[in-house]
Amino acid sequence: MKRKADLPEKICPACQRPFSWRRKWANCWDEVRYCSQRCRRQRGAQGEHQP
Report the C-alpha gap between 16 and 6 in whole angstroms: 20
CB atoms near residue 35 (< 10 Å)? 19
CB 19 within 8 A of CB 39: no
pLDDT for 48 equals 54
Q: How far is CA 14 from CA 5, 6, 39, 42, in A?
A: 23, 24, 6, 7
The closest of 10, 11, 14, 17 to 44, measured between CA atoms, is 14
In this predicted model, what pLDDT tens digit does every residue of 3-51 receive, in sequence order? 877 889 999 999 999 999 999 999 999 999 999 999 999 876 665 555 4
